[in-house]
Amino acid sequence: MTFSCTKLIRFVLLLGGFGLTSTIRAQVLGGPTSVPTVTAPAPPPTAVQSRFLGHLAFEDGYPTTATTQRLYDELDFQRATQVFLRNTPALSMYNLRLGLARDLGVDASNKIAIFRATATSLMLTPNSETLYGMNFLSLDKDGPTVLDAPPGVLGLVNDMWMRPVEDIGPGGPDQGRGGKYLFVPPGYNGTLPDSGYYVVHMQTYGGWFLARAFLTPSGDASQADALLKKTRIYPLSKKDNPPAMSFVEATGKPFDTTSPNDIRYFEMLADLVNREDDHVVDAEVAGMMKTIGIEKGKPFAPDERMKAILVEAGKTGSYLAQAISYAPRNPERVRKGSQWMAGLEGYPTFNDGTRTLIDPMIYMTWFATGAAKAMSAPKPGTGSQYAWTYYDRTGQWLLGEKNYRFHIPANPPAKDFWSVVAYDNWTRAILANGQAVASKNSYDKAIQKNADGSIDIYFGPDAPAGKESNWIRTVPGKGWFALFRLYGPLQAWFDRSWTPEDIVSQ
């Protein structure tokens, strides 16, 4: 039997006349209208005031259109900020390569910049007492590449995410005797020599080569310069007729290798990802990049909304990185109670075998460049060791308008020499203070010593009377920090029977 709609309505009304609809409703609505909860969240009220998001509005548990947009803006902002932080090593390498090519013309693997760092060398915490030689390998263009290192250099190669690839010199397989290293690009399946090379497989096509050579005690760089110029880099395919080397004298020449903190950061990261191997980063990091539009093989084309978010994320990411680096939650101090820090958890790989140590990675790569395997297993009398501080003895930031004294106890445990350098707290380059260089070292015969052999170094806008030779000028209105280095560190450093004293405000 079939009923028309009108007949069905009449039938229901008839049942109602007999009181049967309430019975039917009771049968249909016989379940609960609320249930007890333990972990299930309650729906939001119509108005929510979030500590981080401000006002949010909901209707029967649904976000309004404006609130939905606000939530997505925040999600994109958070992801972009994390992409910034997770890729500080990569952007450091990218901008180092870019600065060398753009400002110095070092744009091929057979070109090497040679320089002594000054305030015009805008790079992260270089020292001012050794001579640098550096360039970038280009395995995508050159294929397997030979690096013939001379004996006596202290060097390394890092990949484009600043991961340690190989040490060169006393801490490397050549043990300071020099030798031929063969760097192989990712995914290479061709034939390689059976002998005659230290074969090193890379995760990236680009690779930063850094070599240092020591000056003489008098400060003469000629021997170091001659040593670095013995370096040879060439494609394995051209080993029988390698191209001539070109050495670029860069001391005193301005060049900028510092990462920006605006939308250019993300544009550069997208460019780097597209230049590199598909598997250069793990799936989680690549997935986070994809959420903000950075994906291998695709153009990076954020809309105006996303551009504004990326600009803000770049600034915020830099502020977060600085806080992580300059005010670490768990600093490794040279001794209990000291303001000097030394050592980084997980350096140089920032992986403990189970997880990535994200904050220590950000800490290091915000203020310094270069991951050396030898520094994770140092031997007394070889290599170098560093301590750094952003604070005076009372835990206050080091400020350019104040005067300070740094007491170096007698007999610093350095087989070769020690140095202390002041750096700009934002560029992280050597402080531009009007002096030839913002540093002092044990080669400087003009430095005055105390009667017990200890030394006092003074920081401030003006030199203390009669202490000009021991003074590093600072700039009012500009924060700074200090790195104390020991070259050829001795046992007294490793067992901490000798440590530097805290910087004291005067």
Is residue 213 within a helix (H) or strand (E), and if so which, with residue range? strand 206-214
Residues ≥6 apart with Cβ < 8 Å to 172? 155, 156, 166, 198, 373, 374
Q: Tell me the whole-structure pTM to 2 decimals.
A: 0.91
Pairing, β 455-460 against β 471-473: parallel
Comparing C-alpha atoms, which of 121, 196, 125, 203 is closest to residue 160?
Answer: 203
Helices within 47-87 (DSSP H only): 65-86
Comparing C-alpha atoms, which of 486, 479, 471 is closest to residue 387?
Answer: 486
Say if residues 441 and 419 touch (Cβ distance below 8 Å).
yes
C-alpha span between 347 and 370 (Å, rounded): 11
Residues of the chain with pLDDT under 70: 1-27, 376-377
Instruction: Check residue 11 and give its pLDDT.
Output: 47
Say if residues 261 and 315 touch (Cβ distance below 8 Å).
yes
pLDDT digits (tens, 9 = 90+) for 48-86: 999 999 999 999 999 999 999 999 999 999 999 999 999
Ranges in the chain annotated CATH 2.60.40.1610: 89-256
Read off the DSSP letter of residue 469.
G
Comparing C-alpha atoms, which of 448, 454, 458, 451 is closest to residue 482?
Answer: 458
DSSP string spanning 225-268? Answer: HHHHTT-EEEEGGGTTSPPPPEEEE-TT--EE-PPPSSHHHHHH
Say if residues 202 and 143 touch (Cβ distance below 8 Å).
no
Residue 310 CA, chain-centre distance (Å), reads 19
Query: How long a stretch of residues is the chain?
Result: 506
What fold characterizes domain 89-256? Immunoglobulin-like (2.60.40)
Instruction: Check residue 335 and give its pLDDT.
Output: 96
Residues ≥6 apart with Cβ < 8 Å to 87? 161, 269, 285
- CB-count exposure of residue 491 (10 Å: 0-12, 13-18, 19+): exposed
pLDDT digits (tens, 9 = 90+) for 222-232: 999 999 999 99
Instruction: Check residue 1 and give its pLDDT.
Output: 46
C-alpha span between 407 and 92 (Å, rounded): 33
**Domain 328-505 carries which CATH code?**
2.60.120.600
Residues ≥6 apart with Cβ < 8 Å to 4? none
Comparing C-alpha atoms, which of 362, 453, 473 is closest to residue 410?
Answer: 453
Any idea of the CA torsion for 214, 432, 246, 142, to the nearest 10 degrees?
100
501: region left, alpha or beta (phi > 0 left; psi from -120 to 50 alpha): beta
Residue 233 CA, chain-centre distance (Å), reads 27
C-alpha span between 104 and 116 (Å, rounded): 14
**E-assigned strands of 60-144?**
62-63, 111-115, 121-122, 130-138
Say if residues 170 and 202 touch (Cβ distance below 8 Å).
no
**E-assigned strands of 410-494?**
414-424, 439-441, 455-460, 471-473, 480-489
Is residue 181 within a helix (H) or strand (E), and if so which, with residue range? strand 179-184
Say if residues 162 and 136 touch (Cβ distance below 8 Å).
no
Preceding amide of 89 cis, omega within 30: no
Ranges in the chain annotated CATH 2.60.120.600: 328-505
